[in-house]
Chains A and B, each alone.
Chain A
Amino acid sequence: DTEVTQTPKHLVMGMTNKKSLKCEQHMGHRAMYWYKQKAKKPPELMFVYSYEKLSINESVPSRFSPECPNSSLLNLHLHALQPEDSALYLCASSQKTSGPNTGELFFGEGSRLTVL
């Protein structure tokens, strides 16, 4: 069982809605990530938080707004999304924030988002 918990597992929203995806981990990891995965495609990095500060934003549109309230929680706020934003949104965490094994990620089960 994954130690990274994501809610909700499924979300359907209209283009004018505001919703949030939530992620929680209790492994003491200090780096947390949002990845986006379209069907039959590899995950693509969106955001990285390290020690609760935004470290990387991969030029993600502002309709996606990340938030890290504390070291265990990561949110992704969604507003005015487009149908092409429909995808699986994966949260991940890692123990290391530097060094060769920073890519040792623990993924949550994902939130499958459908934008109508």
Chain B
Amino acid sequence: QKEVEQNSGPLSVPEGAIASLNCTYSDRGSQSFFWYRQYSGKSPELIMFIYSNGDKEDGRFTAQLNKASQYVSLLIRDSQPSDSATYLCAVNNAGGTSYGKLTFGQGTILTVHP
């Protein structure tokens, strides 16, 4: 069974701190990995995606991928209260013609307190 697991939350960090969100996946054939943010009552929005081992940075966000360990993470630097949301890890694991066939993790609720 293809599974995506995220670190259990909720996660609470003070404003200005680094928030670390973790995700593991079971299918070694998974090709690409996505982080979506979902505010309460809203739809998911893509923050970043990564498909090569290593780090990928975009502003305050850094995605890290380690395919050998089947591990992907998202770091949020200088966390702001506006970052408070549910973060969904998603894995595209059906091959090159998989369209947007994503398997989502259960999500981690992040709260950034002033």
Q: What residues make up the interface of A, taking CB atoms closer than 8 Å to B? A: 2, 31, 33, 41-45, 48, 50, 55-56, 88, 90, 92, 94, 97-110
Main SS at interface, chain B:
loop
Closest Cβ of chain A to B102, distance in Å, is 5
Point out the residues of chain A lying under 8 angstroms from B45, CB to CB: 107
What 10 A-B pairs are tightest by C-beta distance, nearest first? A42-B104, A107-B43, A100-B32, A100-B51, A103-B92, A103-B34, A48-B99, A98-B97, A94-B100, A103-B102
Interface residues of B in 55-114 (CB under 8 A from A): 88, 90, 92, 96-102, 104-107
A100 touches B92 (CB 8 A): yes
Q: What residues make up the interface of B, taking CB atoms closer than 8 Å to A? A: 31-32, 34, 42-46, 49, 51, 88, 90, 92, 96-102, 104-107
Closest Cβ of chain A to B6, distance in Å, is 9
